[in-house]
A and B are shown apart, each in its own frame.
Chain A
């Protein structure tokens, strides 16, 4: 094929960076959304399994403040999303319609469902400051929902909501076929597993129960390994597809996002904590907060790389 060169007078992000569609806000939102999704799944699993902690709070995991943490992280995520909107006074328009084919519309409604589920989690095992300030509400909620059946039901709802939220953060990108880097169905599971991993890592860090910390460490190791596998499949998927997808994969395989992807996401965010946590499980090294911090930063870096590199990937006209 003879050489071809294309000159365009269109204004775009290559010549005017301000025209980039999505910036840091969306990357942060996707990270916090995935993190909250993971918290929901973890808390839901604890409630569903009905594991009680004799003598202490009824569920070590759920009562370690994770639902309250989830309320904070999802609110910060929604704040980031709101900051990204260019037409802010019209944000209410999201909630006067439901667009079946729009993942963002699904996400807007899923985000609304997350709040009551997390609030119920907080009220089931209320922190002391809440018990002191709103004793009537806490007692009333406890009297109505503190049975095993109610807890198990709430657990199932929390798991379902968490999975929906976690998968949605990936589907939001993968539904935009104009960006070849994103056009992979693996993004949904990848973001869900990444959200689970970051939340398991944070829960392991925060949990007051030693056995639970060990279980969460093992769970996070499994999730990190699965995430590495999904990332590998994601790159194989792109590299064995059309020319546009191969070019998109090159963005992280020799292109401008290579260093941050392989060093930040894969090296420091996945492999290093996996090694550290494996050694900690084997009691070869102390269990320090270093690994959870790396996992959290790695999860954030994954969203940044995919959001920015995705927007740099195009269907080629050359």
Chain B
């Protein structure tokens, strides 16, 4: 089984938010709610300052706490690619998954169910990249099978220093940032 993940080059990301807009358009997320977002991390003291820009979203964790806490099985790991998805018709809106996510990647849709990034599984199943990856003007985002040593994401991870967000939370995040 593939293990889909994302690798994002922080040296190329300019924080243009095209990925945010593309996701919003592709997935028609409600007003005021986004499935992906940008963080700007400033470090140091003037004049020795550095800025790291990251495009963030659900980390589709290897051990997703949102799936294990779900009382109805609505939050589940998809058979293909290990993508973490939500069955809207099985979700009761209890918000346990929202509270369980260390990345605050979930929100409650105005229709009542929990919602979040799906890695655009509807596109991926048609062999397309997720919308955010497809539109990135600096080509800083890469998507593929982390278990395939020949994939672009695996090669990038093997050749560059990288980090994940909050690995100490113990969930096994699958989005990596090249430094």
Given A3-B44, A178-B169, answer yes or no on A93-B32 (Cβ-Cβ < 8 Å).
no
> Which residues of A (259-318) have their CB < 8 Å from a CB of B?
310-311, 314-315, 317
> Which residues of B (83-141) have their CB < 8 Å from a CB of A?
89-96, 98-102, 104, 107-108, 111-113
- Which B residues are in CB contact (< 8 Å) with A101? 68-69
Given A87-B113, A315-B166, answer yes or no on A105-B39 (Cβ-Cβ < 8 Å).
no
A90 touches B100 (CB 8 A): no
| A242 interfacial by beta-carbon distance below 8 Å | yes
0/1 interface trace, chain B 34-48, chain A, CB 8 Å (1 if under)? 100111111111001
B165 touches A94 (CB 8 A): no
| A113 interfacial by beta-carbon distance below 8 Å | no
Residue in B closest to A12 when the chains form the complex, CB atoms? B104
Q: How far is the CB of A303 from chain B (nearest CB, A)?
A: 15
CA distance A178 to B48 in the complex (A): 33
B93 touches A88 (CB 8 A): yes
B100 touches A99 (CB 8 A): no
User: Which stretch from B1-9, B71-79, B147-155 is at the chain A interface?
Assistant: B71-79
B42 touches A176 (CB 8 A): no
Given A178-B101, A315-B168, answer yes or no on A93-B92 (Cβ-Cβ < 8 Å).
yes
Q: How far is the CB of B33 from chain A (nearest CB, A)?
A: 6
- Which A residues are in CB contact (< 8 Å) with B90? 90, 93
Given A86-B113, A102-B68, answer yes or no on A176-B100 (Cβ-Cβ < 8 Å).
yes
| B82 interfacial by beta-carbon distance below 8 Å | no
> Which residues of A (1-24) have their CB < 8 Å from a CB of B?
2-12, 16, 19, 21-22
CA distance A157 to B44 in the complex (A): 61
| A208 interfacial by beta-carbon distance below 8 Å | no
| B20 interfacial by beta-carbon distance below 8 Å | yes
0/1 interface trace, chain A 159-199, chain B, CB 8 Å (1 if under)? 00000000000001001111100000000000000000000
- Which A residues are in CB contact (< 8 Å) with B100? 175-178
- Which A residues are in CB contact (< 8 Å) with B74? 93
Out of A4, A12, A103, name the residue touching B69 (CB < 8 Å): A103
| B70 interfacial by beta-carbon distance below 8 Å | yes
A87 touches B92 (CB 8 A): yes
| B27 interfacial by beta-carbon distance below 8 Å | no
| B65 interfacial by beta-carbon distance below 8 Å | yes
B101 touches A16 (CB 8 A): no
Out of A6, A86, A87, A178, name the residue touching B39 (CB < 8 Å): A6
A6 touches B40 (CB 8 A): yes
> Which residues of A (39-88) have their CB < 8 Å from a CB of B?
84-88
Q: How far is the CB of A315 from chain B (nearest CB, A)?
A: 5
CA distance A178 to B133 in the complex (A): 27
Q: How far is the CB of A1 from chain B (nearest CB, A)?
A: 9
Q: Which residues of A contact B (CB under 8 A)?
A: 2-12, 16, 19, 21-22, 84-88, 90-91, 93-94, 97, 99, 101-105, 107-108, 172, 175-179, 242, 244, 310-311, 314-315, 317
Some 5 contacts from A to B, beta carbons below 8 A apart, are A21-B99, A22-B95, A177-B170, A179-B99, A314-B102
